[in-house]
C-alpha cells in the first residue's frame, strides 16, 4: 500500500500539519504527531476491510507499506496501528508486515521509533 503525501494545495493540508502540540497525543507509551495520527486513522478506517481481503486471499504475501516524506510519516503510524489491531487482519502474522518510510517527517517520539524499528525501515 503506497500512501500519497500531502499536496499542500488545499488549506486543509496545512491544518493537518499544524494540528500538533508537544506532548499532545500519547500513543503506546510515546508521543505521535496529532494531525498525522488523525490522517492515519482515517486511512486505517477507510482501507482496513480492503487490506484484510488481500491478506485473506493471499496468505503467502507480505503486507508492505511504503512512501516518502509526509506520506512516510502516515505509513509509519499506520503500521503501528495495524500491529496493535492484528485481529482485524485475519491470518496475518506480525513478521509478514513491514514498512518502508523514505525520509519520513517527524511523526513519533524516539522511544516509539526505537521500539518499532523491527518493522519500520527508514
Pick 85 or 7 by higher pLDDT. 85
Nine-digit cell string for 85: 489491531
Write down the pLDDT at residue 5: 66
Is residue 42 scored above 70 in pLDDT?
A: yes
Q: Is the pLDDT score of 101 beyond 80? A: yes
Start-to-end CA span in the chain (Å): 16
Q: In whole angstroms, what separates CA 117 from the centre of its chain?
A: 13
Mean pLDDT for the chain? 87
- Residues 2/66, Cβ–Cβ less than 8 Å: yes
Residue in the structure block whose three cell numbers are 491470518 = 91
Q: How far apart are CA 19 and CA 30, in angstroms?
A: 17
Instruction: Convert the pLDDT of each residue in 50-78 to its tens digit.
Output: 999 988 898 888 889 998 888 889 999 99
Cα 122 to Cα 119: distance, rounded to the nearest angstrom: 10
Amino acid at each position: 500500500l503506497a500512501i500519497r503525501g500531502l499536496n499542500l494545495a488545499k488549506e486543509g493540508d496545512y491544518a493537518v500539519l499544524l494540528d500538533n502540540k508537544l506532548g499532545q497525543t500519547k500513543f503506546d507509551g510515546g508521543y505521535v504527531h496529532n494531525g498525522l495520527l488523525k490522517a492515519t486513522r482515517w486511512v486505517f478506517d477507510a482501507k482496513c476491510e480492503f487490506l484484510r481481503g488481500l491478506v485473506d486471499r493471499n496468505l503467502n504475501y507480505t503486507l508492505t507499506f511504503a512512501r516518502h516524506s509526509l506520506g512516510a510519516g502516515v505509513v509509519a503510524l499506520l503500521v503501528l496501528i495495524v500491529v496493535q489491531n492484528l485481529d482485524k487482519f485475519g491470518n496475518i502474522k506480525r513478521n509478514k508486515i513491514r514498512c518502508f518510510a523514505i525520509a519520513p517527517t517527524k511523526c513519533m517520539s524516539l522511544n516509539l521509533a526505537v521500539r518499532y524499528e523491527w518493522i519500520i525501515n527508514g
